[in-house]
Amino acid sequence: MSADPSAPRVRVVIDANVLVAALIRTDGWTAQELSRSDVEWLAPAFLADELKEHSTEYAEKAGCTRRQWARRVASVMRHVRIVPADEVMAAARDARVRMVESLDPDDAPYVATLVAAGAQFLWTRDKLLLDTLPGIAVSVVPRT
């Protein structure tokens, strides 16, 4: 069943661990979720750099070459809108971002991306985020 193209799409920030899981297991549930047409997938600008920086490690985990990994990344990233770093930085003063930053500074950019993009959800498997931002940080993106 496909989504109504005129219906508003839910906006979801995807964190690195979820995206890497989809790239490693391209036939898995996480990868299948990324094909949803009812979702606008979003990510902070640094995520593409992180995927490139760790490409050898991730390609090994995926059982593919670095070139194949790069193709996987490019294919998936066509479905993800990158939120520019300046917009993410501008959202850093939001109370939710500051709260998360005090707990784990590495997670704050994802929350800032959510704020900057006006996203409804942050798709993560990070227990701290799930516990700190219930209903916003989700391990399963709700169906619209």
**How big is the CA angle at 41 (ends 97 and 72), to the nearest 5 degrees?**
115
Question: Who's near 82: CB < 8 A, 6+ residues apart?
Answer: 42, 43, 44, 45, 47, 48
**Other beta carbons less than 10 A from residue 139's beta carbon:** 12
Is 90 exceeded by the pLDDT of residue 101?
yes
- Tell me: the pLDDT tens digits for 62-71? 999 999 999 9
The token pair at 27 is 């036939």
CA distance linking residue 65 with residue 81, whole number of Å? 25
**CATH fold label, 11-138:** Rossmann fold (3.40.50)
pLDDT at position 143, please?
86
**How big is the CA angle at 93 (ends 131 and 123), to the nearest 5 degrees?**
35
Is 50 exceeded by the pLDDT of residue 1?
no
What pTM does this model have? Answer: 0.89
Domain ranges of the chain: 11-138
The token pair at 99 is 């709260």
- CB–CB of 2/33 below 8 Å? no
Residue with tokens 């996987």: 72
